[in-house]
Amino acid sequence: MDTTKIEALIVLGLPLSIVFQQDRIRYINALEASRTKESDKPFLNFMYSQYSKFLKKEISMLK
């Protein structure tokens, strides 16, 4: 993630990364897949899904 994206998250008051406890195995699997495939795509896809999950949870608490 480049500096501009990190700064945007900070300005918006959003956390830089979230890994839900129940998804720890998937997190480790994503790290391993990224290492073996020599690609950051599996890890980025996983983190995107975690961030999406976090935002949905936060939005539901506002309703």
DSSP class of 16: S
Query: Which parts of the chain have pLDDT scores under 50?
Result: 1
Count structural domains, the chain: 1
Token pair of 50 as six digits: 């975690």
What is residue 36's predicted lDDT score, i.e. its pLDDT?
Answer: 97
The answer to whether the beta carbons of residues 19 and 27 sit under 8 Å apart is: yes
What is residue 26's predicted lDDT score, i.e. its pLDDT?
Answer: 97
- Give the list of residues 6+ apart from residue 10 with CB closer than 8 angstroms, or none: 16
Residue 44 has a CB neighbour count (10 Å cut-off) of 13
Say what percent of the chain tops pLDDT 90.
48
Token pair of 60 as six digits: 């539901």
Domain of residue 46 covers 3-62
Residue 8 vs residues 3, 12, 61: alpha-carbon distances, Å = 9, 6, 23
